[in-house]
A and B are shown apart, each in its own frame.
Chain A
Amino acid sequence: MITGVKEYIEEVRSGNLNVDDFAHEVVERSKTIQKKYSPFITLVEHPTSGNGRIKGLPISVKDSICTKGIMTTAGSKILDGYVPPFDATSVSNAKRDGGMVIGKTAMDEFGFGTFSTNCAYSIPRNPHDTSRSCGGSSGGAACLTAAADFPHIAIAQSTGGSITAPAAFTGTVGITPTYGRVSRYGLIDYSNSMDKIGTIGKTVYDAALLLSSLSGYDRLDSTSAEIASEDFTAFGSIKGLRVGIPKEYFSEGVDKRVAKEVRSGIERLESLGASCEEVSLPMTDYGIASYYITAISEASTNLARYCGLRYGMQKEITGDFESYFSSIRSTGFGQEAKRRIILGTYARMAGFRDAYYIKALRIRTKIINEFAAMFKKFDVLVAPSMPIIAPTFSEIEKLSPIKAYSMDILTVPPNMAGIPHVSVPIGKVDSMPVGMQIMAAHFKESDAIRVAAAVEGAR
């Protein structure tokens, strides 16, 4: 069976391959993968596809993205059984080009996590070592991408690193585009001002190919940018490219072995003709605090709607409205969701709002400005994707929430700034993949992608 996306598309185009027979085989293989690594929340029994440039190509969709007629839970019991009446714009764009939705992938509840362990459904296991996490929150998407023995690309989503973390931990390629590049219509909100839909693929080509389908202006999302999609697979040379290396991204908290792999990747870039220079992004230290305050403030309002009235979990209505929705929310939300709702509500309450919520917004502006200044001098910034390799589940259990949050230190700044960034495999430590992240200026996805392609090609 063909496993590469490029070859598959050519076979379908030339008429050598029957898409329906192929779909049947994909379902069977997906079931096997599900037994081994559990990347899915929902598997589609009879996937179908239309015509288009990626006709019949298996696409998985993170469960926070609405799919018409297919259960969508955002990884939460409170949405158990919810079948959306509409497709997210990203999903309908993929379908328009012929993409075949094969299932919904596992995630931390509403995206609240870095390891896909805050899951109401299955916890995906890392195909490189099943005692280890796939990363999160798009853990299922990365897990399936790494494990699939068939052509497949994942639609994933990132708020503060949920594409980069699992891509780095599973040795896959994750593209987080510019905020506004892909419509968020139909994405179940975590933190709307930072949520971005992107892709995870086995190769840079795969992830870039699907991103071209998903991108483009959508009037249904008021924050969607009026910028046409482009062919992100048209990689160019990186000769003469100016690369900045932010030193804060190699600080103490970063595993030295990981840093070393990334540094050797940077040497490869230099050998390909890029000019590299160490730079400083002093706002990096303030990223985690301001990210979490902003994210949970927004999340705590987004999650208010889940009260057991119109969709998702329902119970027999007894007592008044308050006791009813309290009962639904007590049982429907997991512990991390409750933690973020309570903290987020606190951060925006009168009396605390200026000290937390408003201050976090100000810091965010500073982070955006810091990046903007940097991109006047450099085309891309290159750093490790994650400070560590994929941790084991027992290591994760021992992490306090603060420690767990601190794992996002390298992914939070580009996510807050809404700049595009790509995580590409760069090497291995303890037989586990290490990712390098490449950040570019707003709407300069193509710059980050061609650097990733160059790194990939030089492996």
Chain B
Amino acid sequence: MAEHKIMIGIETHVQLNTKSKMFCSDRSEPGDAEPNSNTCPVCLGFPGSKPRINRKAVEYGILIGIALNCRINSNVFFSRKAYFYPDLSKNFQITQYEIPIAEEGYVQMGDDRIGITRVHVEEDPARLIYQNGDITSAESVLIDYNRAGVPLAEIVTEPDFKSPKQVRNFLERLSSVLEYLGVYDPAREMSLRVDANISMDGGERVEIKNITGFESVEKALNYEIVRQSGMRRMAATVQRETRHFNAELKTTSALRKKEYEEDYGYIFDPDLPMVTLSEAHVSSIKAKMPELPEQRAERLSKEYGMDISRACVIVYNGKPMADFFETSVKLYNNPDGISNWIVNYLMKSLNWRGERISNSKVRPNTFVELVEMVDKNEITERYAKELVKSYVDTGTSPRKLAEGEKVVLTEKDIVKIVSDIIVNNKKASDELKAGKKEAMQFLIGEALKQTKRQANPNEIREILTKLIGKST
């Protein structure tokens, strides 16, 4: 692919995990409540109903703004964004237009700085359920208003991204920041949705709407790059349009042409007063600011003498993982061992099962048994790696699991096995004594066989060297 100048900007919609909805007192997270049961005249847009601002959601907006290095506005407004769409109960969305909660922030990603244009809060539309197809092909659509009115934070970036991969990294960073702020529940379905705008070589901007999943965002953008450069090769012009990402086919398809900027006819929402965010209020929120992932990674690295990249892997996996690490270290003081086992083995097993630490059966008190057994050579690393899998599967104490298998060899057992091998393989032992390296390989191989690979080659080599040395 020839060098293209790529500009990508994204809008991220995050469902805030407040107790109630943005403008009424219905529960915000109805779980598996029957469709349309978690509704009231306000979120259904009944005539005469009036919205009320959820102060917690505004506070969450401020927290996000601060975390993304934004300026917090002192007087903010809510506006009506008017367009007809079946998921909007009032055919307008209450959002923020002129003066949002926060503006002009940034996220530093290595050498690149991604500008944050604005952070505002708004209401989520209802959920549309497409019958026998997707948005482009469904025969009919059902509407579930349980989602109507759930608070959303919209985070808009400048078109500063240079690659789809960078967008994905940013989203991973962002979602962990939000999780650390305690404003967002990543386990909730569809809780983070992305609209991505991409233009190449100064051409028209194409918007891909409503993508869920970071991997999908990257794939959708990669597909667009391939599609758009293909068009350029064929001397076709990329048109300004909105596209839909099909997560199964991993392709995008045209939804509608955009001949001009969409006109939403914004007005100030006359049912809602101006919200004043006093300096005192903002600083009281600032004071409540929890430790953010970046700071935590630095702290973990310093406090536990850990490589910063390993600390980042733990921290950006999500708050529960970093909490898990710190609790584990308190129970068994070997940060290096624990972080090693988390990063290299535990995460893989969890990923393989599609679990997050928070909903897995893994617990600090049982997990440290595993590390401790390895440290004390009660089990070999090789066996421990197998043990992690059954531990993640069952949550059973690794110590118990190891007993059950009755394959635990102590160091003493291994020394015994190796010395027996020396006796039983006289020829090879003599050759080793004479300095023949091939003999060492042979003896190690034998030992691995007999220890059922519970001992590792280095360990065996050490024992062999020691024993052979003694006998001379």
A interface vs B, CB < 8 Å? 65-66, 72, 74, 79, 82, 84-86, 88, 184-189, 191-193, 219-223, 297-298, 300-301, 304-305, 307, 309-311, 321-322, 325, 345, 348-350, 353, 357, 361
Contacts and interface: CB of A to CB of B under 8 A. Distances in A.
Interface in B290-342: none
Contacts of A219: 52
- List the 9 closest pairs (A to B, CB-CB), nearest first: A304-B91, A193-B270, A192-B270, A348-B265, A66-B48, A186-B48, A188-B47, A305-B90, A305-B45
A193 B47 CA distance: 16
Contacts of A82: 47
Contacts of B84: 304, 307, 321-322, 325
A349 B265 contact: yes
Given A305-B91, A350-B265, 18 more contacts: A74-B47, A84-B47, A189-B47, A192-B271, A222-B51, A222-B53, A300-B265, A301-B82, A301-B92, A304-B92, A305-B47, A305-B89, A305-B92, A310-B46, A311-B47, A322-B84, A345-B265, A357-B267
B244 interface: no
A86 B44 CA distance: 13
A221 B270 contact: no
User: Among the interface residues B86, B270, B273, which one has the most CB atoms of the partner chain A within 10 A?
Assistant: B270
Contacts of B261: 350
Contacts of A187: 48
A119 B203 CA distance: 53
B48 A301 contact: no
A88 B86 contact: no
User: Among the interface residues B47, B86, B265, B268, which one has the most CB atoms of the partner chain A within 10 A?
Assistant: B47
A85 B46 contact: yes
25 contacts: A65-B48, A79-B47, A82-B47, A84-B46, A84-B47, A85-B46, A86-B41, A188-B47, A191-B270, A192-B270, A221-B50, A222-B52, A298-B267, A298-B270, A300-B82, A301-B80, A305-B47, A305-B91, A307-B84, A310-B44, A310-B89, A345-B265, A348-B82, A349-B263, A349-B265
A341 to B, nearest CB: 11
User: Among the interface residues A85, A297, A298, A301, which one has the most CB atoms of the partner chain B within 10 A?
Assistant: A301
Nearest to A322: B84
A200 to B, nearest CB: 20
A195 to B, nearest CB: 9
User: Among the interface residues B41, B143, B267, which one has the most CB atoms of the partner chain A within 10 A?
Assistant: B267
A396 B44 CA distance: 38
Contact of A301 (B51, B85, B265): B265
Contacts of A322: 84
A109 to B, nearest CB: 13
Nearest to A191: B270
Interface string B89-117: 11110000000000000000000000000
A186 B89 CA distance: 17
B273 A223 contact: yes
B223 interface: no
Nearest to A311: B46
Contacts of B49: 185-186
B45 A310 contact: yes
Interface string B256-284: 00000101011110111100000000000
Interface string B62-99: 00000000000000000010101110011110000000
A194 to B, nearest CB: 8
Contacts of A348: 82, 265-267
B255 to A, nearest CB: 14
Interface of A is mostly: loop
Interface string B34-66: 000000010011111111110000000000000
Contacts of A310: 44-46, 89
Nearest to B260: A350
Contacts of B143: 309
Contacts, number: 99
A84 B263 CA distance: 33
Given A297-B267, A345-B265, A304 B90 contact: yes
A353 B270 CA distance: 16
Contacts of B85: 321
A361 B98 CA distance: 14
Nearest to A193: B270
A219 B55 CA distance: 14
Contacts of B89: 305, 310
B85 to A, nearest CB: 8
A219 B23 CA distance: 12
A282 B163 CA distance: 60
A223 B50 CA distance: 10
Contacts of A321: 84-86
B265 A353 contact: yes
A350 B260 CA distance: 11
B263 A72 contact: no
A301 B41 CA distance: 17
A192 B268 CA distance: 11
A327 to B, nearest CB: 13
A126 to B, nearest CB: 29
Contacts of A188: 47-48
A154 B92 CA distance: 33
A310 B89 CA distance: 9
Nearest to B272: A222
Given A188-B48, A307-B84, A222 B271 contact: yes
B46 A220 contact: no
Given A187-B48, A311-B46, A304 B267 contact: no
User: Among the interface residues A74, A188, A305, A309, which one has the most CB atoms of the partner chain B within 10 A?
Assistant: A305
Contacts of B46: 84-85, 310-311
A92 B270 CA distance: 23
A79 B267 CA distance: 25
A222 B50 contact: yes
B56 to A, nearest CB: 16
B50 A184 contact: yes
A88 B46 CA distance: 12
A321 B82 CA distance: 16
A361 B270 CA distance: 12
Nearest to A303: B91
A289 B82 CA distance: 23
A353 B52 CA distance: 26
A86 to B, nearest CB: 6
Contacts of A361: 268
B271 A223 contact: yes
B270 A85 contact: no
A310 B266 CA distance: 24
A298 B90 CA distance: 13
Nearest to B36: A310
Nearest to B91: A304
B425 to A, nearest CB: 82
A301 B50 contact: no
User: Among the interface residues B46, B52, B82, B273, which one has the most CB atoms of the partner chain A within 10 A?
Assistant: B46
B47 to A, nearest CB: 4
A269 B53 CA distance: 46
Contacts of A193: 270
Contacts of A220: 50, 52
A309 B266 CA distance: 23
Contacts of A86: 41, 48
Given A188-B47, A353-B266, A309 B86 contact: yes
